[in-house]
Amino acid sequence: MSETTMSGDRIFLRGLAVECVIGFIEWERRVKQTVVIDLELPVDCRRAALTDEVSDTLDYKKVAKRVIAFVEGTQFKLVETLAQRIAMMVLEEFDVPWIRLSVSKPGAIRGSRDVGVTIERTRADLLAR
């Protein structure tokens, strides 16, 4: 087990709102809708805390910008598919051992604030695809 997974430290990004084509109903395929993304990634913060340098941690701004660019360029029917694809991209491009990710569609169900999925994926999932 690496120090990153043992430390218990996490970087999180909550409430990242991105516009994309998502949904399986005909009208949903013609308009962009907002999805809201929450990410949690393992990182050992000890070195960065000592050096005060972003190069010694996971740059959450780079993660956010990449997720935004990825999602804006997608068109999926299901939030499950979008969540899976985001997870695989982050695991591959940012070399983290695992990711916990939620994707929600605000207002998708009348009377509900939002609806969505939460998934957890590891590098083993990346290798198994």
Catalytic amino acids? Answer: 105
Cα-flanking dihedrals φ and ψ of residue 40, to 5°?
-135, 130
Strand partners, 28: none
Q: By three-state DSSP, how is residue 80 classified?
A: helix
What is the rounded distance in angstroms from the CA atom of residue 20 to the CA atom of residue 58?
Answer: 26
What is the rounded distance in angstroms from the CA atom of residue 21 to the CA atom of residue 72?
Answer: 8
Cα-flanking dihedrals φ and ψ of residue 31, to 5°?
-130, 155
Strands 33-42 and 98-106: antiparallel
Bin 12: left if φ > 0, else alpha if -120 < ψ < 50, else beta. Answer: beta
